[in-house]
Structures are given as C-alpha cells and as structure tokens.
Amino acid sequence: MINPINNINQKQKANKMKNYIEQKGIAQQETLATNINGMQITITSLYPVSHNTQYGIRPCVQFVRDNDGQRGMCRIDNKPELARQIEQLKINNDNAFVARYTGIDELLSVINDNHDYCDALNNMMDDEHNDGVNPPSHPVMTIATARAKYPIAAAYIDIVRLSNADPSSQIGYSRRCAGETALARLTAMDVISQQDIETILQDARNEIANITLTID
C-alpha cells in the first residue's frame, strides 16, 4: 500500500504512455490507501468499471474496508481528489515501466504505425474507385529497425507474447509457462540490462525447444 499522492508532477503527467501493453515483469504499486467519509479503505484496482449505483451507472473502483476486510465499490465521478490520486498513481506506474523497459513506447508506436500503414494500403487496394494517386504515407521506421534500436523493449514484447500463448495445446501451454517463468524472473530483478533480458528470453525459448511433443 502507498500513501495518497498530494501533488501532481506535470512533467510525469506529460510522460504517460501513448500506447497500451500489459505491464508485467515489474513490481508496481497497484493499491491506494485513502480515507473516504471517515472510513479507511484500500483501493484494490486502479481501473474504474461501470457499476449500477442508486444514482445510475457510474464509474467505480473496487475497495476493501481496512477494519473488517469487507469489499465494495466506490464512486469516483463525485470524488475528484480520489480520481486525481488514482490517475497520478497510474502515471507513476507508466513512468516506472517506461524507464525499466527502455524504448517500449517508441517501439509500440512504430509497430502500430506499420500495422496502420498495411491496413490503409489494403483498404486502398480493395477500393475500386481509388486510383492510387494518394497512397498512405510510409512509416518513418520499419519494425525490424525499431527492434534493433530498442532491444530491451523488443525482448520484453517477445516474452509477453509467450506468456499470452493459448494453453489449449501442448506447445501453447509450454510457451505460456516459459513466458510466465521469464516474467517472474524479470519481476524479481531491480534493474534489467539488455544482456539480462535477452538471456531470460533465450532461456524461455530453450525451454520450449526442449519440450518433447507426445501424441496419445
């Protein structure tokens, strides 16, 4: 648990990530201790959900009451200070994640730009009324170039993909287990170097390669 944040750092606010990716492999601050109407509670989720209250559907966050452990939902649309604290905590987490996995936001931007370009190009080719005079602009960088520029971020994305593999097949299950083991190793580390994360990724790949497939 952490104490409520009293001041917004505008530089940190401006640094919030532009692209989404699961933030794993890092020990983050995911709860917030606060006092609401004289009741000490701990916010257990930083991401609001729509919840049906006596005032209609409102954005709420989950909480646990400290004195007895009872769980509940807390509105944030009518609590601007709590909403500000939660938003600042998410920004702090983003900044810590970006600092840990150097270049992650930049690499994701390049990946998204290239995917958007491919989609736009395919749509142009499918449009019989488009003569190709105004094709979509090429991305400023290829994914391969960006991966080489940001190797720590590239390795992180590869590990997350392994951890998200479909476990319904034997190979998928092996990939997921190897990815989750790799993420656990990353989480336990204070600082991650390029050699560290590339070694962990290679260990995960070796673990998958050593799995003997069986047919019943």
* pLDDT tens by residue, 98-111: 999 999 999 999 99
Co-location of 95 and 159 in the same domain: no
CA angle 109, 163, 21 (to 5 degrees): 25
162 vs 9, higher pLDDT: 162
| Domain contains 1 | no
Contacts of 96 (CB under 8 A, 6+ apart): 26, 28
Span 84-99, pLDDT tens digits: 999 999 999 999 999 9
What is the domain range of residue 115? 102-149
Check whether residue 14 and residue 84 sit in a common domain: yes
Asked, for residue 5, whether it belongs to a domain, the answer is: no
Q: Does residue 81 lie in a domain region?
A: yes
User: What are the pLDDT digits (tens) for 175-216?
Assistant: 999 999 999 999 999 999 999 999 999 999 999 998 755 555
- What band does 128 get if pLDDT is binned at 50, 70 and 90? low
Question: Do residues 59 and 122 both lie within one domain?
Answer: no
170 C-beta neighbours (distance < 10 Å), count: 13
Judgement on whether residues 166 and 200 belong to the same structural domain of the protein? yes
Give the closest residue to 202 by CA, choosing from 173, 171, 181. Answer: 181
Does residue 120 fall inside a structural domain?
A: yes
Residues 90 and 122 in one domain: no
**Taking residues 118-136, what's their average pLDDT?**
75
Residue 16 confidence (pLDDT): 65
User: Looking at the 3D structure of the chain, how many domains does it have?
Assistant: 3
pLDDT of residue 13: 39
Q: How many CB atoms lie within 10 A of CB 182?
A: 28
Indicate whether 57 and 79 sit together in one domain: yes
Higher pLDDT, 126 or 43: 43
Are 86 and 115 in a shared domain?
A: no
The predicted-structure confidence for 18-68, as pLDDT tens digits, reads as follows 898 999 999 988 899 999 989 999 999 999 999 999 999 999 999 999 999
pLDDT > 90 in the chain, percent = 75
pLDDT grade, residue 130 (50/70/90)? low
Confidence (pLDDT) at 122 = 83
Cβ atoms 44, 131 nearer than 8 A = no
Q: Residue 89 has what pLDDT?
A: 93
Mean pLDDT across 155-165? 97
Query: Do 111 and 141 reside in the same domain of the chain?
Result: yes
Burial of 206 (0-12, 13-18, 19+ CB in 10 A): exposed
- Per-residue model confidence (pLDDT) at position 153: 98
Give start and end residues of each alpha helix (H) in the chain: 10-14, 80-100, 104-126, 143-149, 151-163, 170-187, 194-209
40 and 55 belong to one structural domain? yes
pLDDT for res 2: 31
